[in-house]
Structures are given as structure tokens and as C-alpha cells.
Chains A and B, each alone.
Chain A
Amino acid sequence: DTEVTQTPKHLVMGMTNKKSLKCEQHMGHRAMYWYKQKAKKPPELMFVYSYEKLSINESVPSRFSPECPNSSLLNLHLHALQPEDSALYLCASSQAYAGLGNQPQHFGDGTRLSIL
């Protein structure tokens, strides 16, 4: 069973809609990530939060807006998306780096997003 829970599993939205993706983990991890995965491609990093602060933004368009309201939750707010944004959006979590060395990242099942 996955310990990183993502909702919804599927989302279809129009280009003018506003929606949010949610991710939750209860493993005490203090680093959380959003990835985008297109079909037959590897996951591509979008954002990294460490101790609830945004530490990496991989030059993602502003129509994607991340939010980390607490150490267990991660949101991705979507607005005015384009058809090419259709993809699987994966959330992951890990122990924070904090001198421990890189820590294993554990993924959720993802939200499959379709933009009409």
C-alpha cells in the first residue's frame, strides 16, 4: 500500500478552469515533491518543498502554483492550463536532506490530468 496519498486519481478540466491536486503523507517526511510524467517518459521534477518552504522551482509556468500548508500536505493549484499539460502528476516525499545525505523518495499513485 502506498503511504503517499494523492487525490483525485483522475481529473478532466477545461483550459479556463481552476482546480487543485492534493497530496498527503504521514511518514514524518519533511521534503515533498511534485513531478510531471508524460507517457513513456521519466518523471520530471517540478517543485521541491523542504520544511514547508519552496526550495526548488524548475522554471515551471506560473499556471502551476504549489502550496505546502503543513508538513503532511502538499497542494498543486492549477489555472488556465494548456492541452500539453495533460500528464500524470506524481507527488513524492522523503526525509529532508539536512546533512543526512540524499534520502529515498516515495511516490504516490499520481493524478492523471486531462486538459480539454
Chain B
Amino acid sequence: GENVEQHPSTLSVQEGDSAVIKCTYSDSASNYFPWYKQELGKRPQLIIDIRSNVGEKKDQRIAVTLNKTAKHFSLHITETQPEDSAVYFCAASGFLGAQKLVFGQGTRLTINP
């Protein structure tokens, strides 16, 4: 089955700097890659997603890139703000997977003022 690895497990950046979180997946059939943000005690919130027919997607300060050959995808947050502090999870889902999301282990992002 699918396996998703996420790095780093913790990340601390200065406010205004950029943050990058990387994930690799094992199943070449995976074709959908969402990113979720989870603040303490709250639900996972979808912040951006990308499909395998697209190499990059951007939404304001957030962007995701996908390299299908290398089977890795990354989340980029620019001009970080204190409210970006949270745990971020990447996930992958396969074409025949009936919407079975497999999550990475998460990255705790801390934005230092």
C-alpha cells in the first residue's frame, strides 16, 4: 500500500521568512495530493491540493509543487505570519483508492515573531 514520508517533523522560522515542507510517496498510482493545516484542538483544514497532471499550484502565499518522476511534493509558504503556526499534514491518494487518503506524520511549524 501507499506510504507517505514527511520532513521535517518540526520547523521553526522567523516571521516573514519562507517555510518548505517536503513529502515523498511510494505508490506511483497516487494522483491526488492535499495539504492540511491543523491548529491545536481543531480540525484538519484543507489549505491546498494538487493533482498529478499539474506540476505546481499557487494560492496567495501558499504553493505546492509535484515531481511525479521522483515521487515527491512540497509545500511552500512565503512571507510567514504568526497565524501560520500549526501542524501541517501532507497526504496522497491513488486512482483506484476510493478516496483513501494516506497521511504523512506531520510537521509542526512555529513562526517566531
Interface of A toward B, CB cutoff 8 Å = 2, 31, 33, 40-45, 48, 50, 55-56, 90, 94, 96-97, 101-110
Contact = CB atoms under 8 A, between A and B. Distances in A.
Given A41-B105, A101-B31, A101-B32, A109 B98 contact: no
A77 to B, nearest CB: 22
Given A42-B103, A42-B105, A42-B106, A109 B42 contact: yes
Given A42-B89, A43-B103, A48 B43 contact: no
A1 to B, nearest CB: 11
Interface stretch (B14-22, B44-52, B61-69, B73-81): B44-52
A42 B32 CA distance: 18
B98 A48 contact: yes
Nearest to A2: B43
6 contacts: A42-B105, A90-B43, A97-B99, A101-B31, A101-B32, A109-B43
In the complex, the 9 A-B pairs of residues with the closest C-beta atoms, listed nearest first: A42-B103, A102-B32, A107-B43, A102-B93, A109-B43, A107-B44, A55-B98, A42-B89, A104-B46
Contacts of A108: 43
Interface in B76-99: 89, 91, 93, 95, 97-99
Given A41-B105, A42-B104, A102 B44 contact: no
B45 to A, nearest CB: 7
Would you call the interface of chain A mostly helix, strand, loop, or mixed? loop
Given A48-B98, A90-B43, A102 B104 contact: no
Contact of A102 (B43, B99, B105, B106): B99
Contacts of B36: 107
Interface centre among B36, B100, B101, B104 (most CB of A within 10 A): B101
A101 B51 contact: yes
Contacts of A41: 105-106
B34 A48 contact: no
